[in-house]
Amino acid sequence: MTHFFGQHAFLPPDGISGRTDRITNVPAVFVRGRLDIASPLGVVWRLAQQLPLATLQVVEDEGHGGADLTDQLLIQATDRFAQ
């Protein structure tokens, strides 16, 4: 896994961000802990800025693991998509 992530998942620098035009019509919800050092907030913030139907919910006191609030936000998002 370390090698995989160290190689940026074997994608070019814009491998994901350079192709967001393909999914601008897809709603998305990103839930991220502000204290998550494994997945820095700036990365998902920039991605959410490129997607007009995306929302970013930041859980202030959360890191990478799921807390009750994070779990609730994810359940709410999937419930909205199911409707």
Residue 39: the pLDDT is 79
Burial class of 33 by CB neighbour count within 10 A (0 to 12, 13 to 18, 19+): buried
Q: What is the pLDDT of residue 1?
A: 62
pTM of structure: 0.79
pLDDT at 15: 79
Q: Which amino acid is at 16?
A: I
What single string gives the DSSP state of each residue in 15-69?
TTGGGGGGGTTS-EEEEEETT-SSS-HHHHHHHHHH-TTEEEEEETT--SS--HH
Of the pLDDT bands very low, low, confident and very high (cuts 50, 70, 90), residue 51 is very high
Please enumerate in sequence order all residues whose Cβ is within 8 A of that of 23, keeping only pairs 6 or more positions apart, or say none.
Answer: 51
